[in-house]
Amino acid sequence: MDILHEYFLVPLMRNGWFNPVNSLVYGIGLMVGIWAVFNLLKKVNVDIDRGLFISVIPFIAFAGVTRTLRDYVYFSASSQAGFLDSFSGYIGAMQESAYEYILGVTGIPALAWIDSYIIAWFPTPGSYMITFMLALLALFIGLVVRKYRGIECWKTMFLMGSIFFLVNASLLKMNSLVPLLYVGSVTLMWTIIFFGLSAKRVQEKVKMLGKHVSDFVERIFTPTNSAILSAHFFDATATFFAIAMFSTMGGHGYTEQHFLSRGLMPFLGPQVMFLLKFIVVVPVLYYIDKYADDKKLSNFLKLAIFILGAAPATRNLVRLIVGV
């Protein structure tokens, strides 16, 4: 119980803090989940293609705004006496604060009741599990619609995900669009670079640098890989500006939650996020393209990697815009 409390419950009570132990367990759980979902999609005959990629985008946006909504509620709930005394008390305080906030904004008790429980359990791994369950619900509804109406499954998923996103996005109060200007402009720069390197004309010119460099650029900078890299550098950009330039609603600075990048920042600064993204994501994409013979498996692995970059990036940017 001491291990459970120290490495899992306390990080959740600190609004989603990561350490080597919970990161390892969550990583193993993620791999098991990817394997299970991949086989599920094959069994129900859902194509792992561009349509599926599009269908998950509103769920990523939903996760980002819901996580920010939780950050907002956490800021107010944490002022309660005994907030961190016990895990059950912490969950109860989060649910109660979320319910009061949502009810005050919408005046709809049913929505406040459902959403308050989602928000109370939404830090990692809850955010991924809850979002996955909602996406799975949309998938099965999409399968029914496809069977009886002939509408492609991804369209139903996209519509339902968009509704989930819009409902929770409407509960947030925008503070400033300045972070969007900073993060958006730098993310656009990275996106232009990555997709520029995927252009045939550029890759022809890169051949002058030698076969090894040319082969590396051609393998890594495909349109799909460039989209994934753009998502991860979006995350790195949002983290960099949050730590380097902005403060929370309480006037405090932002802090990196992941233990590896958090440990390196005192030595290399917040720009280490860009280096870590390059060191980690590029080799993963390289080996997927080189060794994954099953095209469907390759596509699904890349979809998972895209989500792992886009989801926290969305949360980080929305949190900066809200100012919490």
CA–CA gap between residue 34 and residue 244 (Å, rounded): 34
CA 14 to chain centre: 19
The pLDDT value given to residue 5: 81
Residue appearing with tokens 């550098």? 233
Q: What pLDDT digit, counting tens, does each position of 85-100 carry?
A: 888 888 988 999 999 9
Claim to verify: residue 183 and residue 151 sit in the same structural domain:
no
The pLDDT value given to residue 251: 62
The tally of domains found in the chain comes to 2
Among 172, 188, 203, the domain boundary falls at 172
Claim to verify: residue 116 and residue 22 sit in the same structural domain:
yes
Q: Which residue has the higher pLDDT, 268 or 182?
A: 182
Claim to verify: residue 319 and residue 199 sit in the same structural domain:
yes
Radius of gyration of the chain measured on its C-alpha atoms: 21
Q: How many CB atoms lie within 10 A of CB 181?
A: 10
Claim to verify: residue 76 and residue 217 sit in the same structural domain:
no
CA distances to 128, 230, 240 from 234, in Å: 19, 6, 10
At residue 85, the 3 state secondary structure works out as: coil
Q: What pLDDT digit, counting tens, does each position of 12-48 carry?
A: 888 888 889 988 999 999 999 999 999 998 888 888 8
Claim to verify: residue 166 and residue 193 sit in the same structural domain:
no
Q: Residues 27, 21: contact at Cβ < 8 Å?
A: no
CA 107 to chain centre: 29
- pTM (two decimals): 0.92
Claim to verify: residue 233 and residue 162 sit in the same structural domain:
no
Structural domain boundaries enclosing 242: 177-324
Residue appearing with tokens 């907030």? 83
78-106 in b/e form (b: 16+ CB < 10 A) is beeeebeeeeeebeebbbebbbebbbeee
Claim to verify: residue 162 and residue 190 sit in the same structural domain:
no
The pLDDT value given to residue 201: 84
Claim to verify: residue 161 and residue 107 sit in the same structural domain:
yes
Burial (CB count within 10 angstroms: exposed 0-12, middle 13-18, buried 19+), residue 36: exposed
Claim to verify: residue 208 and residue 130 sit in the same structural domain:
no
Claim to verify: residue 221 and residue 301 sit in the same structural domain:
yes
CA distances to 134, 147, 251, 299 from 48, in Å: 18, 18, 44, 7
Among 134, 149, 172, the domain boundary falls at 172
CA distances to 108, 232, 279, 280, 286 from 220, in Å: 49, 14, 13, 13, 6
Claim to verify: residue 128 and residue 270 sit in the same structural domain:
no
Q: What pLDDT digit, counting tens, does each position of 126-181 carry?
A: 899 999 999 999 999 999 999 899 899 999 999 999 999 999 999 998 888 999 99
Q: What pLDDT digit, counting tens, does each position of 241-298 carry?
A: 999 888 776 666 788 888 889 888 888 888 999 999 999 999 999 999 888 778 888 9
